[in-house]
Amino acid sequence: MAKGQGNVVAQNRKASHDYEIVETFEAGIVLTGTEIKSVRAARINLKDGFARIRNGEAWLSNVHISPYDEGNIYNVDPVRARKLLLHRKQIDKIDSELSTNGMTFIPLRVYLKDGYAKVLMGLAKGKKNYDKRETIKRKEQNREIARQLKNYNR
C-alpha cells in the first residue's frame, strides 16, 4: 500500500503487466448511495476500465460495480460512466498527455480514505509483447539472484 492510501478495495493486477505506468493521480469518484455500499463490500471490477477527458471533465468508463443486493429500485447501471474528481491543472495535464501517441488513463486501485472512495489512476503507455517478455525475464533473474544469495548466506 502506498503512502496515504487507506483500505484497498480493488486492484487492477494486469495494469503493470500490460502497461508502463508513467505517472499516478489520486481522484475522487462520484457514486450513488447504493454504489458506495457495493464498493465498501468490494464488489467492483477494474479489469477493463479506462478514463477519458470529455468537455474538460474526466470520466471513468467500463468499471463494473455490482448492484447492491438491498438496493431495489435505487440501483443504477453497473458499467455506467462515472465522473472523476480532479483538479483543473491535473485534467489539463492529463488531456495533453493523452493526445500523444500510445498513452492511456487507467484505474490502478480503488480504496477507501476517510470514508470516501478514491481511485488511483495511472497515466500509462502500452507495452509491446517483447517488453512484457523482458519484464518477466528480469523478474525471474532477480528472483534467482535472491535465491542464490539466500543459499550463499547460510
Q: What CATH number does the domain containing 50 carry?
A: 2.40.280.10
Is residue 144 in a domain?
no
Please give the average per-residue pLDDT across 75-86, as a whole number.
92
How many domains are there within the chain?
1
Coil vs helix vs strand at 2? coil
Predicted local distance difference test score (pLDDT) of residue 1 = 40
CA pair distance 101, 99, nearest whole angstrom: 6
Q: Report whether pLDDT(70) > 90.
A: no
CA pair distance 120, 138, nearest whole angstrom: 26
**Residue 100's domain spans which residues?**
7-126
Is residue 134 in a domain?
no
Predicted local distance difference test score (pLDDT) of residue 27 = 96
Phi-psi region of 143 (alpha: psi -120 to 50; beta: other; left: phi over 0): alpha
Which residue's entry shows cell 480514505?
Answer: 113
Q: What is the pTM of this model?
A: 0.80
Q: What percent of the chain has pLDDT over 90?
A: 60
Is residue 36 in a domain?
yes
Arithmetic mean of pLDDT over the chain: 89
Predicted local distance difference test score (pLDDT) of residue 51 = 95
